[in-house]
């Protein structure tokens, strides 16, 4: 185990990034990676790159989904994982990459930060027309974000009316959590653990509320109830 700053075994206390890379707490912290929380001692630490208005560490930049070609490799993997959970879209929704960095710095949830689902009013109500994902995410962040946004598209296809926000976002967070559970990496495990304790009243509370209902009634009964009645069973 070597420190991300001094390269040695941490002689004292250290903190772990979401990739579980240690950094001695004795080093100064000038900035942090927006994706994994890893600290850097200097604004110009080598290997670090700008990510929108934030910064990204070299570990998160490695294998990141930077362009539409990278996304093209990942999208079918996420769609297949969602299909295995019974979440399949009858209408294809185009997935595009937005400029690197949070799509909107003002929102606290996943939507508008890492991904967004554009919906349009049509003859059958609202329908998802396209999904945008922030460029430059790690494959794990990308997959969780896409799973969440595919949830919105799936709900738009099936539900009879608008859902209370915590229920809508809670269902989508459950899909993101299910995808993360299949990944089995430290980053995926820690992102999922962060969802368990997310204090956000819509995303965090919604996630725990829907998950509790699934534990109680099963995923099929919960999704059927949500799309038919707009409420948990």
CB of 167 to Zn ion, least distance (A): 11
CA pseudo-torsion sign 60, 55, 66, 202: positive
d(CA 114, CA 101): 8
Tokens of 35: 């994706």
Q: Binding string to Zn ion for residues 126 to 165, with x set by CB under 5 A, is what? A: ----------------------------------------
CB of 3 or CB of 30, closer to Zn ion: 3
Q: Which of 6, 30, 85, 89 is the binder for Zn ion (CB under 5 A)?
A: 6
Q: Could you tell me which residues come within 8 angstroms of residue 123 by beta carbon, excluding any fewer than 6 positions away?
A: none
Q: Which of 21, 24, 48, 179 is the binder for Zn ion (CB under 5 A)?
A: 24
DSSP characters over 106-161: T--SSBTTTEEEEEEEETTEEEEEEEEEEETB-HHHHHHHHHHHHHHHHHHHH-SS
Stretch that binds Zn ion, among 32-40, 74-82, 86-94, 223-231 (CB under 5 A): 32-40
Residue 172 in contact with Zn ion, rule: CB under 5 A:
yes
Residue 36 in contact with Zn ion, rule: CB under 5 A:
yes
Q: Where along the sequence are the contacts to Zn ion (CB under 5 A)?
A: 3, 5-6, 24, 33, 35-36, 38, 57, 60, 111, 169, 172
């Amino acid at each position: 185990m070597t420190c991300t700053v001094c390269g040695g075994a941490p002689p004292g206390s250290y903190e772990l990034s979401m990739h579980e890379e240690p950094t001695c707490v004795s080093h100064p912290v000038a900035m942090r990676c927006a994706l994994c929380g890893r600290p850097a001692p200097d604004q110009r630490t080598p290997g670090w790159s700008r990510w929108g208005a934030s910064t990204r560490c070299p570990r998160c930049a490695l294998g990141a989904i930077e362009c539409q070609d990278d996304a093209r490799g990942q999208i079918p993997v996420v769609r297949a994982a969602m299909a295995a959970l019974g979440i399949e879209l009858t209408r294809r929704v185009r997935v595009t990459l937005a400029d690197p960095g949070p799509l909107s710095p003002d929102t606290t949830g996943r939507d508008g930060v890492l991904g967004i689902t554009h919906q349009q009013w049509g003859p059958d109500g609202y329908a998802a027309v396209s999904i945008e994902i922030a460029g430059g995410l790690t494959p794990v962040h990308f997959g969780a974000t896409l799973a969440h946004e595919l949830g919105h598209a799936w709900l738009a296809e099936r539900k009879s009316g608008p859902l209370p926000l915590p229920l809508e976002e809670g269902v989508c967070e459950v899909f993101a959590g299910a995808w993360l559970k299949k990944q089995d990496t430290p980053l995926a495990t820690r992102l999922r653990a962060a969802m368990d304790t997310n204090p956000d009243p819509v995303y965090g509370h919604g996630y725990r509320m829907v998950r509790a209902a699934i534990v109680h009634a099963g995923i099929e009964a919960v999704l059927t109830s949500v799309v038919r009645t707009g409420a948990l069973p």
